[in-house]
Amino acid sequence: MIDTSRIEISGAGLRCTDVVRAARRSAWTELTPDALTRAGQSYELAVELGAKGAVYGRTTGVGANRHIVVDPGAADLHGLRLLRSHAGGSGEPLSDDAVRAVMVIRLNQLAAAGSGVHPRLLRALEQALRVGALPLVHTRGAIGTGDLTALAEIALTLAGELPWASGGIEPVPISPGDALAFISSNAATLGEAVLAWHDLNRLLAASHVVTALTFRALGGSAEAYDERVHAARPHPGSVRCAADLRRLLTGSGDPLPGRRLQDPFGLRAFPQVQGAALDAAARVGEVLEVDVNAAAENPLIDAETHQAYHHGQFSTAQVALAFDYLRAALHHIAELSAARLSDLVEPDISGLPPFLADGPAGSSGIMILEYVSHDALGTLRHAASPVTLGTAVISRGLEDHASFSTHAVRSTVTATAAYRTVLACELLGAVRALRMAGTELPDTPLREAYRLATAELPHIAEDHPLSAEIRRAERLLDRFSTL
C-alpha cells in the first residue's frame, strides 16, 4: 500500500500539491538515500573545484565584489559573514505554512545536487520539518533575483546564530562555500507562490458552482455551453469550463430551455473568460513545478562534467510573468461575477423584485452587495496591475534587471482575497433568488451546493445587516471547490 502521507524528496518529481500538503501538515517529507549520496558527491566536487580555481561565492566575494578573492584560510568565516550580512529582511514574518513550503522546496532543490552544499544541511532541513521547527523569516527583501535575505535567515537559524520561531534542532556547522550555495535560490518566493496558486485554483473551481447557481436563478440558456460550440474553438480552459457547467447543470439529462434567446455576457461568455483564467492557472502550475525541482543555484556544480557553471538561473521572469497574466485573467472573471450580481437584482432579467427585496415597499434587499462587490473589484483591479513593468539596478550596476516575482505572487494573494468577496456576494444573490422563486435544481452536484448554502446562509426576508452572511459565503466557497 502506498503511504500517501509520505512525500519522497529526491530533487525531482515534487508536485505543487505535495508542497501544499507538507506545508499544511497533511503529509511529511523524507529524503531518499540517493539524494543524500548525490549531494555528497556535489559537495566534494565543489570543494575540489574551489581548490583549483575561482568559484563565485566560494573563493570570491559576491555581487560587485565578485573579483575580490577570499583568503583560503578564512573561507569558513567568509561564509558566515556572507550569511550575517544578507540576513537583513524586514516586514512581517511569513506565515507558518509559507515557511514550511519554503523549507520543503529548498530541501528538494538541494536534493537535485547542483548547489555543492554539505549534505548535513539537507539532513538538518529534513529534521526541522519532521519535528516542526520553524525559523523566523521576514517578508521583505527580495526582488525576483534570489531570496537572499529569507534564506540567509534560515541558514543562520540552522547554524544556531538566530533563534527559532518555534521548536528547534541542534545547530549545524556551515562549511566553507555553503553560504552562497544555500541562499542562491528563490525558494521563499516559490513557497508563497505554490500556496497562492493552490488557493486560487480552489476559488476558480468554486466559480463554476456559483455561476451555475446564478444560471438556474436567471433561467439561462445552456446553448452557450454546448459541446459543439466549444469544439469549434477548442481553447483548453474554455472546453473544460463548459464541460463542468454541463456536469453541474444537466448531468446526463437534457438541458432546460432558457428564458432568453441570448443571455447577458456574465452567463453567455463565462466559459471563454473563465477558460482564460483556467489556462493561466495551468501555466502557473507548469512554471512552478519546473522551479521547485530545479537546481538553479549560481554557480551550478555539475557532477557529470566536473565543472562549475556561472549563469543567470536566479531570474524568475517566468514566475513573475505567469502570475501577472493570471491576475489579469482573474480580474476579467471577477468583472463577470459582479455583472451577474447586477443581473440578479434586475427585475427584467430575474423576474423577481428589484434588489431581491422581500419586505415592505421600498425595501432595499441586497442592494448593498453591489457596493461591496465593486469595492472588492476595485481592490482586485489595482492588484492586477503588472509588476513586471518595473526593474531595479543594484550592486554598482552589475545586477541590472529584476522580475519582482515576489511582488507578483503577493499581489495575487491580494487579488484572490478580493475575488473571494466578489464571488461571495454573487453567491448570496443567487441563493436568495433561488429561494424566492422556489426553483427546483437538477439532481447533480449543484443540488448539494444549494443544500450546503441554504444550511449555512439564513433566509431572512426583511432588510437586515449582511456582513455576517458575506463572511459565511466566503468560507463556503472552499467547500464548493470539491463538488
pTM of the shown model:
0.96
What would you report as the CA-atom Rg of the chain, rounded to the nearest whole angstrom? 26
How far apart CA 319 and CA 331 sit, in angstroms, is 19
One digit per residue, the tens of pLDDT, for the chain of length 483 reads 456 789 999 999 999 999 999 999 999 999 999 999 999 999 999 999 999 988 998 989 788 888 888 888 877 788 899 999 999 999 999 999 999 999 999 999 999 999 999 999 999 999 999 999 999 999 999 999 999 999 999 999 999 999 999 999 999 999 889 999 999 999 999 999 999 999 999 999 999 999 999 999 999 999 999 999 999 999 999 999 999 999 999 976 777 788 999 999 999 999 999 999 999 999 999 999 999 999 999 999 999 999 999 999 999 999 999 999 999 999 999 999 999 999 999 999 999 999 999 999 999 999 999 999 999 999 999 999 999 998 899 888 777 799 999 999 999 999 999 999 999 999 999 999 999 999 999 999 999 999 999 999 999 999 999 999 999 999 999 999 999
Q: What is the pLDDT of residue 74?
A: 75
How far apart CA 446 and CA 453 sit, in angstroms, is 10
Q: What is the pLDDT of residue 472?
A: 99
Q: What is the pLDDT of residue 341?
A: 99
Place of cell 548547489: 115
Q: What is the pLDDT of residue 3?
A: 66
Residue 160: burial class (beta carbons within 10 Å; 0-12, 13-18, 19+): middle
Q: Which CATH architecture has domain 6-185?
A: Orthogonal Bundle (1.10)
Q: Where are the domains of the chain?
A: 6-185, 194-303+315-480
Q: What is the pLDDT of residue 2?
A: 57
Q: CA torsion angle for 16, 17, 20, 25 (degrees, to 10)?
A: -140
Q: Which CATH architecture has domain 194-303+315-480?
A: Up-down Bundle (1.20)
Sequence-ordered list of residues with C-beta below 8 angstroms from that of 92, at least 6 positions apart, any chain: 138, 139
